Amino acid sequence: MMMEDPQSEHQRMVRRHHREKKELKAQIQAMKNSVPKNDKMRRKQLLLDVARLEAELEQKHQQELEKFQENFPDNSSQVDSVAEDLAKMDLENQPPHLTRAQRRRERRAALERERLERIAEAETEDLASFRHEEEQKLAAILGAKNLQMKDIPADGHCMYRAIQDQLVFAVTLECLRGRTAEYLRKHVDEFLPFFSDPKTGDGYSLEAFMGYCDDIVRSASWGGQLELRALSHVLQTPIEVIQADSPVVVIGEEYTKKPLVLVYLRYACSLGEHYNSVKPLDACAIGGAPRLF
């Protein structure tokens, strides 16, 4: 059987690449049509799936072009030209001293940047939508309690600042962090089993736990439910945490004082989770609210 000459094989590959791109475009359009625009979670996943499919096809085509170049080095100039056309990238302004390998590397890097930018753009749009929906739900929950959110800066200290805002007595941020760390150190057996490395899932060693406590004092490390548990004991006061999509969490129920109230937000800022304080609902109307507690 006669082998197909390089030029014919090259043309066949180009036609197939063009067809596969058209087919993928049609597949993506069908995927978009199948997901309602008001289904935010599925739309977010759709955008991620589209970026993945486009990247996979582009990588497949690039590998085939490079393999062709290896098998037929004398036709490499055709491969470079077709690769540029298929990716719709203009390389005419590239410095003339760049080698074909360098151009391929830069092209792959550019494709990856475009893919990441598409994902980031989709996530940013979804974050804004989720944030708005979360704020609406929280406004309804707080409104039923005659409360509204009081914004706390997103600087890593938000949980401690929200607690500080709720207290009837003056206390510094450094004091709250120091008392939290001190309580954790004194009650290692109670808290250590609940600490684990977020990357590996392995439980903390005693040394790692003590280092974590040191970070509470020395850095702007974020606080969470375990720190709130420690603070409820330190202050001998229950702490209520209001969330948009979950029941109210009450920490320190054994205490009888009027609870401190915090609002937990998942989508408040691009950095991630956040805590706010609360104030009376009529605060804006009276122009300067008194402290809640």
Mean pLDDT score of the chain: 80
Alpha-helical regions (H) of 76-224:
76-87, 100-144, 158-166, 173-186, 188-191, 206-218
Domain boundaries, the chain: 6-130, 146-286
Identify the residue whose tokens are 């080698």. 99
Task: Name which residue leads in pLDDT, 156 or 114.
Answer: 156
178-187 average pLDDT score: 97
Q: Is pLDDT above 90 for 283? A: no
156-183 average pLDDT score: 95
* Exposure string for 158-180, b = 16+ CB within 10 A, e = fewer: bbbbbbbbbeeeeeeeeebbebb
- pLDDT tier for residue 78 given thresholds of 50, 70 and 90: low
In the chain, DSSP finds a helix count (H) and a strand count (E) of: 10, 5
> Does the model's pTM come out above 0.75?
no
Residue 238 Cα distances to 145, 182, 226, 258, angstroms: 17, 19, 13, 7
Q: How far apart are the first and last CA of the chain?
A: 90
Q: Is pLDDT above 90 for 4? A: no
Residue 163: half-sphere exposure toward Cβ, Cα within 13 Å: 28
Question: 195-243, pLDDT tens digit by residue?
Answer: 988 778 888 999 999 999 999 999 988 999 999 999 999 999 999 999 9
Residue 244 gets which letter from DSSP?
S
Residue-level pLDDT at 35 = 77
Q: Is pLDDT above 60 for 3? A: no
Q: Is pLDDT above 70 for 155? A: yes
- Among 19, 23, 117, 9, smallest CA distance to 64 is for 9
Q: Report domain 146-286's class.
A: alpha beta
Question: 43-66, pLDDT tens digit by residue?
Answer: 777 777 777 788 788 878 778 777
Question: 80-105, pLDDT tens digit by residue?
Answer: 555 555 444 444 444 455 666 676 67
Task: Name which residue leads in pLDDT, 118 or 278.
Answer: 278
Percent of the chain with pLDDT over 70: 74
Rounded Cα–Cα distance for residues 219 and 230 (Å) = 18
Active-site residue list: 155, 158, 274
Rounded Cα–Cα distance for residues 175 and 261 (Å) = 20
